[in-house]
Structure formats: C-alpha cells, structure tokens
Amino acid sequence: MKRGVFCFGVFVLAVLFIAFSAHGQDIPVGFFAPITGPAAADGASAKNAVELGLKEVNDAGGIKGKKVNLIIYDDRLNPQEAVAIANKLIEKDKAVGVVSGSYSGPTRVTAPIFQKAGIPMVAGYAVHPDVTWDPTQKKPNDFIFRNGFLGEIEGAAAAEFAVKNLKAKKISIISMDNDFGRAISSGFAARAEKLGAAILSKQMYKFPGEKDFRPFLTRIKEGNPDLIFAAGYYNEAASIVRQAKELGITSQILGEEGFDSPKFLEIAGPAAEGVIIATNLDRDDPRPLVQNFLKNYRKAYNEDADMVGASSYDAFMILVNAIGKAGTDSKAIQKALLETKDYNGLTGKISRFVQGEVVKPVQIQVVKGGKFRRLGVVDNWEVITPPTK
C-alpha cells in the first residue's frame, strides 16, 4: 500500500515536471471565443483566423526562437463560462497575454479579472465600453486593449457616411436591444442629427429571438425614409434585409459590422445586393498583408474571411508583436502595447491606443455581386477618435 502511494507520488511528480518543462519552452497565450452555442459561426471564424496567425508566427520560427502555445477555450457566449476560463488561463495555464475572440458579454466580465491579475488582453471585436473601462472604479482598465471599434464610434462613422456621402436626410433606425445595438444606434443618431438629418423613428427589437421584422419594417415603410440604419448580427441582418425587400421597401439599408459575415450573404441571398455596411475589414485593401490573409484563409478553410476573423487575427498579432518587443513579462507586454504606434494591422493602420481604444479609420463596404467590396473610408478625426474619460 505504502509502496503504491510512493509510486503514484513519483508518477505525479514526473508528470508535473514534464508539463512544466514543456511550458518553459513555449510562450503560453490564452484565447477564448464562442466556438459552440448561438454565436458559433463567429466563434469558428475567430478561432480559424487566430490559428492561421499562430501557424504563420510559429512557421517563421516563433518569437525569438520560442514557439507560441495558443490555449483555446470555448465560452459558449456565456459570461459565467468566461469567468471560469479567465481564472483558468491565469492560474493553470499561466498565460502571458490573452486574446478575446468573443462578444462583449463574455469579454467584459473577464476584463476586470485580467486587469487585477496584471495580464494584458487584446479584444478582437467586442464593442462594449466596459471592456476597457472599469465602471466601479471609474478608471480605464489599462491592461485591456481593443482592436475593434467602440459601438458609438462605428455608429457615428456610419452616420457620417450616410449623411455626407449618401445624402440621406430622412432616416429610420431599427436596432437590436442589447449593449451593442444600443451603443451603435445612439452613436449613429447623435452624429446624424448633428449633421442635420432627421431621425424619423427608432425601433428596438428583442435580441436574441426576434425573427419576424415585418411589423417594424411596415412601420418604417410608412415614413418612406431615404435610409434605414439597421443594427443586428448576421441572422437578424439577413432577415431584415430580406423582409424589407419582400415588403417592397426601396430605401437604402445601411448596416454595421454584425452584417459582415458570409452567413449574411448566404441567408439574405439576392436581397443583400446593394446593402452598405460600416465595418473594419476592407477586402479591396491592396496591402499584401490583407490580400495574403484573405487568400490563405480561403485556402485553409474553404470559405471567405469575415470581420470577426480579421479582427481576432489582428488582436492576436498585436499581442504577438508586443511580446516580440518586450519579452514574456506581462507588465513589459502591457507597456509595449501602450506604446503601439502606426501599427500596420490587417483591419487598417492603427495610429495608437487611447485608453485602450483603437484609433483607425472605419471601412465602408457595399455588397456587389454577392461579395463585400470597398465603397469608402471614414477617417475624419473628429469622428474616429475615441473620447477620453
């Protein structure tokens, strides 16, 4: 019996030793995304894109000879799950930095945990203000960085394009009733009204769950707006666009990055043609970084990359870049991230981070021939610079 216990003890020590020595060589980087559950398509895009980035980094010899070990977790779009993941990444996996490939819900609950542990996190596309801001202490989470736009910024940029370029004077808004929908539609409405457009109506629909947008759209149709600003993820977006077409609505539809998915094009079908969106991925960006990514993604996964994938890839590469400059100490990585300047990102040139918020132009894309194509860029500093608190 005693002998058995002794043998077991030796075995455990051996396993621990092997585990730790393996960890010693690699650089552990954490990653979480909603790989299953209601946002599984976005989770898959994020994971695929980051794995593509991982392969590029490790094939090129890793960071100063050390391979990056990506630790992947599935948060199932569940904040409770995300809290457990954050603690695991800190305690068990000893991650030096973390990439969020998830939505606002899971990302914002992990932010204070990583902030407290002093581990930098770069969020790919989560939009909620409280990702980078601690509302209880009223100060920024200075270990948290965001590669995607704040909802308000993206909404304001969409309004800028709607009023200045599309000459919309009468606008109706339909938005999902969640953090993202509220932030982006209030940003849109504020900027559009400032530029002199009239907001005819602002309707919120239940998210998740709403599928029948005809009652909302019938009401919009009566006002006969020049433009409809619609906020939703690809399922809702596809339904809105299709049902608007069925009801004979001819107003221009302007969406946001939630539309930016091959699933939107697939479900909406021909009704998607001509729909304009504000997003952060420009497919027609001539830089080799962008064109190679789009090509390699297509080759690896046999489908087109989307905004979520590109943003998560960027978040991962921003972190890797900082580790390359600063080494594996979390505090040094944070410092390198704070000093980011004119970084050449897949989703645009990042001039800097302001209180963790990215500063880069907003892309305007249009659906043409069943694909997202470039229509314009909003780079007015007044619009795209995040407000400091």
Partner 1 sequence: MLWQQLANGIAIGSVYALISLGLTMVYGILRILHVAHAGIYTLGAYVGLLSFRIVGNFWLSLIMGMAGAAIAGYFVERFLYTPLLHLPRIAPLIVSIGLFTALEEAFRIVAGPHTLAYNARVGLGDLSIGSFHLTETQLLILFITFAILMFLWAFLTKTRTGLAMRACAQDPETTSSFGVNVGGIIAINFLIGSAMAGAAGVLIGVYDNQVWPTMGSIPAYKALAIVVLGGLGNIPGTVLASIVVGLAETFFIGVLAIPFPRDAVAFIAMILVLMFRPYGLLGKA
Which residue among 110, 147, 239, 365 contacts partner 1 (CB under 8 A)? 239
Which residue among 4, 24, 65, 209 contacts partner 1 (CB under 8 A)? 209
Nearer to partner 1, 209 or 288 (CB): 209
Cβ pair 189, 181 in contact under 8 A:
no
Nearer to partner 1, 41 or 126 (CB): 41
Stretch that binds partner 1, among 18-26, 101-109, 239-247, 366-374 (CB under 8 A): 239-247
Nearer to partner 1, 196 or 209 (CB): 209
Based on the shown chain and the rule CB under 8 A, indicate whether residue 257 belongs to the binding site for partner 1.
no
The alpha carbon torsion through 346, 337, 74, 47 (nearest 10 deg) reads 20
Cβ pair 208, 103 in contact under 8 A:
no
Residues in contact with partner 1, shown as a per-residue x/- string from 116 to 155 under the rule CB under 8 A: ----------------------------------------
Residue with tokens 């580790």: 323
Closest separation in Å from C-beta 99 to partner 1: 22
Which residue among 206, 298, 331, 373 contacts partner 1 (CB under 8 A)? 206
The vertex-73 CA angle with 71 and 75, nearest 5°, equals: 155
Nearer to partner 1, 119 or 249 (CB): 249
Based on the shown chain and the rule CB under 8 A, indicate whether residue 224 belongs to the binding site for partner 1.
no
The DSSP-derived string for 361-372 is PEEEEEEETTEE
Which residue among 212, 274, 291, 331 contacts partner 1 (CB under 8 A)? 212
Q: How far apart are CA 201 and CA 217, in angstroms?
A: 11
DSSP-assigned beta bridge partners for residue 229? 173, 254
Give 163's Cβ-side CA count (13 Å radius): 21
Q: Give the three-class secondary structure for 17.
A: helix
Q: How far apart are CA 248 and CA 2, in angstroms?
A: 81
Nearer to partner 1, 149 or 234 (CB): 234
Based on the shown chain and the rule CB under 8 A, indicate whether residue 370 belongs to the binding site for partner 1.
no
DSSP-assigned beta bridge partners for residue 357? 146, 354
Residues numbered 267 to 286 that lie near partner 1 (CB under 8 A) are: 267, 269
Closest separation in Å from C-beta 363 to partner 1: 25
**How crowded is residue 144: how many other Cβ atoms within 10 Å of its Cβ?**
31
Nearer to partner 1, 188 or 216 (CB): 216
Nearer to partner 1, 34 or 356 (CB): 34
Nearer to partner 1, 108 or 263 (CB): 263
Q: How far apart are CA 264 and CA 258, in angstroms?
A: 9
Cβ pair 193, 226 in contact under 8 A:
no
Which residue among 26, 38, 195, 324 contacts partner 1 (CB under 8 A)? 38
Based on the shown chain and the rule CB under 8 A, indicate whether residue 211 belongs to the binding site for partner 1.
yes
Residue with tokens 């918020």: 357
Nearer to partner 1, 213 or 313 (CB): 213
Which residue among 9, 10, 61, 222 contacts partner 1 (CB under 8 A)? 222
Closest separation in Å from C-beta 311 to partner 1: 20
Structure tokens at 325: 């400059």
Q: Cα 135 from chain centroid?
A: 21
Structure tokens at 342: 């004119």
Based on the shown chain and the rule CB under 8 A, indicate whether residue 37 belongs to the binding site for partner 1.
yes
Alpha helices, DSSP H, located in 60-150: 79-91, 104-117
Closest CA to 231 of 173, 300, 289: 173
Binding site for partner 1 (CB under 8 A): 36-38, 40-41, 201, 203-206, 209-212, 214-216, 218-219, 221-222, 235, 238-239, 242, 246-248, 263, 266-267, 269
